[in-house]
Structure formats: C-alpha cells, structure tokens
Amino acid sequence: MRYPRNLQGYGPCPQVVWPNEARIAVQFVVNYEEGGENSVLHGDAASEAFLSEIVGAQAWPGKRHWNMESIYEYGARAGFWRLHRLLTDRQVPVTVYGVATALKRSPAQVAAMQDAGWEVASHGLKWIEHKDFSAAQERAEIAEAIRLHTIVTGERPRGWYTGRCSENTLDLVTEAGGFDYVSDSYADDLPYWHEHDGRHQLVIPYTLDANDMRFATAQGFNSGDQFFSYLKDSFDVLYAEGKGGSPKMLSIGLHCRLAGRPGRAAALARFVDYVKSHSKVWLARRIDIARYWAEAYPFQPNDGCPSRLPEETFVARFGGIFEHSDWIARRAFAGELSAANDTATGLHAALTTVFREASEAQRFAVLIAHPDLAGKLAQAKRLTESSTNEQASAGLGALTDRERGRFTELNDAYVEKFGFPFIMAVKGRSKDEILAVFESRIDNDRDTEFETACRQVERIALLRLRDMLPG
C-alpha cells in the first residue's frame, strides 16, 4: 500500500539557486475576496463568518449580516487602495489571489492591479468553504472560476489558490490543466512538483503564519508591532539560511480588509522597507517564481523510486538486501511505503521494521542465511554478489594461509557456541579489525550475541542500500 502523503521533502539542506544568487525569494500576496464572500445576496444560505474584525462571528442563516458586509466593503473601498499605494510606491511586485465574483464586482480595482503589473491569479469562483463539495461540484466551480476570471481580466489565470479547499482541490486543478502553479499547500518553504493521474503540477506553497489573517484568529496578532516582528523574524531566519547556502522562499499573505487598516498598513510598510534594505533579495510575483522553477528545476519522473515500483520489481531489486530473505522485502511492500522510503535511510527503515517485528525464529533464519567470513562458500566462490564484494573490500579474499586458518578456527568455534555464523558489516574495515572484533564477540553470551548479530545484519542492509539509492 502506498501512503499518499510526502513527509520526506527536500531533506535537511536543500540546494537551490535563485536568480542573481539571491539568498531569499520574497513574495507578497494580496487576497481580493470582497464581494465574493458568503452572502444571501450571492445566493448563499447564510452570511460570512470568516476573517473579519468580529470576534467569534457566526453565520446568520437566511439573513444579511450588515456589520460583516460593511467590514468586507472596507477592504474594497479603502483597504485595497491603501495597500495599492504602499506596494506600488515601493515598487514591490505583487500577486493577487482574486475571487472571480469579487473581481467582477470591482472593475476599478482590477484595472489598478493590471496597470501596476500585478499578477492576478485565481482564488476560486466564490470565497466559500469547499470541504463538503463533491468532486463533480468542485470541478464545475473551478471551470466557472476560470471562465469568469478570463472574461473579467481579459486573461486566463495562470496561478490558482482556493484557500478554503477540499481534499480534492489540488488534484482537480491539476486535472484542469493550464496552470503554471497551484498554491493550495503549506507544506514547504520551496516549490515542489505534484503528480496526479499521469499529470504533474508545480506547487508553490502559501503561508498561514506570515499572514495578516492572524489579526482575525484567536491565536493571532494584536498589534502591528507583533505582525512586523513576526515577519522580520521569519525573514531573518530564511535570509540566514540562504546565506548559508540553502535559499528559501517567504510568502506574506495580505487581505484588504485586514492589512489595509491604517495601524496594520504601517507595520507592513516598515517590513517592506526592512526587506528592501537587504541585498541579494529576490522580490517576485508567484508567476515569476513558477516560471523560473519550471526551467531551473523541471519535473523529473520518479517511477523508478522504490515506493513506485510494482511488487515483483520491488522484490527483485531489494529482496537480497537481507541475505537470501526476500520475504522481508515482500512484507515491506505490503506495508506502508511512501516518498519517505525512497532514500537509503527511508527504505532501510521500512525493511528493518519488518525484520524487527519478525519472530525470533524468523530472525534466526536470516542469520543462518549469511555465509561465514572467509569460509568455505567464499573459497568455492558461491557467495552472493553483495557478500563477495563486501568481503573482498575488507581484504578477506586475499588472506595468508595463517590468517585463513585463524578465521576457520574462529568460524567453527562461533557456530558451535551460538548456532549461527559470525556476522559483521565488514565494508570499510580491515581484516585485522575484523579479527579483533571476532575474537572479542566470541566471548559474549548467546542473547547478547544474537542481538549484536541482528544489528550487524541491519548495518549490512543499510550499506547495501546506500550503494543503490541516495541518502
């Protein structure tokens, strides 16, 4: 069974190069939702209750909520223009997440966005919740959002962010096609590729923390200073990581009715000025990031990754990782594999879990499947290719008669005492080191040596996987 979530990501230190060797890509989003929110005027069952100045707001079924409506109206009438002046005066590139019905009701604002060279991406048809939509209903909404957006702006949207999305949203937008990026994800500080039904789609993750929406949530910002401080700290950490060779992206989410208020706009202005006081910062629209990423880091098919292989191919490739014990690979395949198991470390964890969960008799069978070191099978050239290479790398294929005699003596004594062969991960070790360990471990009691041998089997498996897979 393949687990669909990807918890692996880019690992501890992703190596990315931004244009002009920028240490960070900074992206400002203006969410334009005013006029697209829940309202009985828009054919909805109740009023809006999300992201406003009203603490603990509740939807009013079948009624207009005058206070809520006027708060949203502030965003269109005043907040938008304040943000527009602030960002254009400072020559900040901007992406707008525009709700199609909201854009339709605000022609002057749309014209101002376009005159400023802002990217107008789609924020869906209406600013409503989609979690209970069927796939067919949401698919129809996406198509209508694209149609209306194109009519209102004169251009088809190239970016998409639903926001209040369902589990199907990302796949449905991927199916729709024609988007340079989708942002319905908060999974990373960098773009990544999503695959669905034979198609691939670039995802540029968005943010819910570096976002003025936290002025309207229970655990949020109470003042502009808190907003500024959080954005500054976020920038400073990512800027330092970029200076250290691992550049990232910082997204800042804004709403006209929230950040467009004077006290919050002042904090935003301070932050923009702070960002612009630094060198090697790439201020970009999301479409610019998407087009750069698609060229610099194009989609790479990963059908050959372990978690993507069919069962027989998987077993054929990894069945020998634990010596002559392909049942371990088969059980791992039947378990839960994901992108996290596509590295040597990750696949080793999956295989080792099976081995550790096995009965003592099953683990004993794995131990006795291993050959003696420098034993009769090696002399007869009947080892597996992996064992042959491992023993040869430690010099066990070129022993003197005296050394070979000592190994034979130890092998016989060890098997007689413990009932299984001496097992050690010999790759990278010298024959003198191996002999010293051999002579030390033969004095162990059986329980201790059984567990030691099992850990060495696991170590051998890891070294074999590192020869086959990245990290």
CATH code where residue 254 lies: 3.20.20.370
Which H or E run includes 134? none
Q: Which amino acid makes up residue 372?
A: D
Predicted TM-score (pTM) of the model is 0.88
Print pLDDT tens along the chain (471 aa).
688 888 888 988 888 999 999 999 999 999 999 998 878 888 888 888 777 777 778 888 888 988 888 999 999 999 999 999 999 999 999 999 999 999 999 999 999 999 999 999 999 999 888 999 999 999 999 999 999 999 999 999 999 999 999 999 999 999 999 999 999 999 999 999 999 988 999 999 999 999 998 898 877 888 999 999 999 999 999 999 999 999 999 999 999 999 999 999 999 999 999 999 999 999 999 999 999 999 999 998 887 899 999 999 999 999 999 999 999 999 999 999 999 999 999 999 999 999 999 999 999 999 999 887 765 544 545 557 777 677 776 667 677 888 888 888 998 999 999 999 999 998 888 888 888 999 999 999 999 999 999 999 999 999 999 999 988
**What is residue 341's three-state secondary structure?**
helix
Closest-CA residue to 322 (of 391, 387, 394, 376): 387
Nearest to 416 by CA among 385, 384, 372: 372
**Residue 127 confidence (pLDDT):** 85
Rg (CA), the chain: 30
Q: Taking a C-beta distance cutoff of 8 angstroms, is the pair 262, 82 a contact?
A: yes
Give the active site residues.
Answer: 370
Question: Which structural domain range is residue 391 located in?
Answer: 311-467
- Phi-psi domain of 67 (left: phi exceeds 0; alpha: psi -120 through 50; beta: other): alpha
What is the residue type of 11?
Answer: G
Residues 54, 137, single domain; the answer is yes
Whether residues 195 and 292 share a domain: the answer is yes
pLDDT in the model for residue 65: 85
- The H or E element spanning position 263 is helix 262-276
Shared domain check, 318 and 249: no
Q: Are residues 347 and 453 in the same domain?
A: yes
Domain end, chosen from 237, 267, 297, is at: 297
Q: What CATH number has the domain bearing residue 357? A: 1.10.3330.10
Same domain, 159 and 248: yes
Return the ∠ at Cα 268 (arms to 266 and 269), rounded to 5°.
65
Instruction: Based on the fold, state whether residues 287 and 339 are members of the same structural domain.
Output: no
456 inside domain: yes
* Last residue within a domain, chosen from 247, 272, 297: 297
Residue 1 lies in a domain: no
Among 269, 297, 325, give the residue marking a domain's end: 297
Check residue 50 and give its pLDDT: 74
Q: Are residues 271 and 412 in the same domain?
A: no
Q: Does a structural domain hold residue 7?
A: no
> What total of structural domains would you count in the chain?
2
pLDDT of residue 380: 40
Compute the distance between CA of residue 236 and CA of residue 424 in angstroms, rounded to an integer. Answer: 47
Residue 302 placed within a domain: no
**How far apart, in Å, are the Cα atoms of 407 and each of 64, 157, 323, 400?**
88, 72, 21, 11
